[in-house]
Amino acid sequence: MEWLEVRLLGGFQVLRDGDLVPQEAWQHRRGAELVKVLALAREHRLHREQVIEALWPELPYDAALANLHKAAHFARRAIGESDAMVVHGGRVALAPGALVKTDVERFEAEDDPALYSGELLPEDWYAEWASEARERLRLAYLRSSRARGRWEEVVAEEPADEEAHRSLMRRYADAGNRSVALRQFERLKAALAEVGLQPGAETLALHEKVSRGPAAVAPVPVRSPMVGRDSELAIARAAWRQASEGRGGVLMVSGEPGVGKTRLCEALLAEASSSSWSTMRGAAPEEEGPLPYAPIVEALDRLLDARPDLAFSLTSAAQGELARVTAASPAAADRSRAQGGPAKDLLERGAGVRASRRGARSGPPV
């Protein structure tokens, strides 16, 4: 045997001169454990007392020494070489006459996260002799991934890493994917909540910046300046000011057909849009019939088509209710993908009927 390769990241494998030792060759766990311990050791050799302390600390010395010799025998038989495991002069060595290499050594030497193919020996998760090396390698992988900006991998390994989530949020927002950036924030919130924490000030500031985004403006026809409605416009503007101060409400405009109700509302929409406010507009044309919440659904459709990310500022419960009303909601899209087809909610079906008829309007909105 000229060389022996031991793979420890993501699972245990041994190759002898390039040929994989079949898993069924490791019928005796003690032989595999001895190879693993020595593969992790410097120069792949240890004093026999060190091996005994790692693998059989609870046994009397004589019984543990007998286990060591049995394990060495099982390892030689699995690898198929008489010198694959040598116990001599109080020391235990892995293939001392061959070149021994491991994926752990290569990863640590090259410091390349691409070489980290998984956590160290996941099948030996509860083995104390592997825990220190496992954590050392995991931290090295995270450090290397951060240095290279491989934030997806950092999040996969550390779901509550705020720096990684913020970096991904910035990346998505800079690419124009504001809704994806806000989804990333929601994933961070959920991960932090599992350990009883909340996002820090820097993360919250970034979330607010991403959430703000450009205004979504409802369509308003270009018209000449409105005249003769100064008092009504003053009332509408006062309600608008209250809303800007966090005291929202409802302003109802009523009157006989043709007195200018729509024109008044359009004037207010135009002023709000020019002031960088997001505006919504919906109508209930007679020919569409009594569809549930039709004006609200139409307004939400238009808003979420332009700014789907706004939905992520809502609570999970509110997002669920929004998904019942409009298929433009990101939550409705997620549910549709999960179901393998369009959402089945009654309100969403009504929204679909309304959308399909939109192009066939003939009468004025009422």
* Predicted local confidence at residue 50, as pLDDT: 97
Q: Between 230-244 and 261-274, two packed helices, what is the crossing angle to 10 degrees? A: 40
* Predicted local confidence at residue 268, as pLDDT: 86
3-state class of 342 per DSSP? coil
- For the chain, the domains span 3-115, 153-213, 230-360
* Predicted local confidence at residue 351, as pLDDT: 45
Under CATH, which architecture does the 3-115 domain have? Orthogonal Bundle (1.10)
* Predicted local confidence at residue 355, as pLDDT: 46
pTM of the predicted protein model: 0.64
* Predicted local confidence at residue 337, as pLDDT: 58
pLDDT tens-digit readout, 220-252: 877 777 778 888 889 988 988 888 888 888 888
* Predicted local confidence at residue 91, as pLDDT: 96
* Predicted local confidence at residue 352, as pLDDT: 47
* Predicted local confidence at residue 21, as pLDDT: 97
Give the residue among 248, 341, 350 at the shortest CA–CA distance from 298: 350
Q: How many CB atoms lie within 10 A of CB 228?
A: 8
* Predicted local confidence at residue 47, as pLDDT: 97
* Predicted local confidence at residue 293, as pLDDT: 76
3-state class of 227 per DSSP? coil
pLDDT tens-digit readout, 287-328: 656 677 788 888 888 888 877 777 777 788 888 888 888 877
Q: Alpha-carbon distance 49 to 61, whole Å?
A: 9
Sites in the chain below the pLDDT cut of 70: 286-290, 331-366
158 φ/ψ sector (left φ>0, alpha ψ -120 to 50, else beta): beta
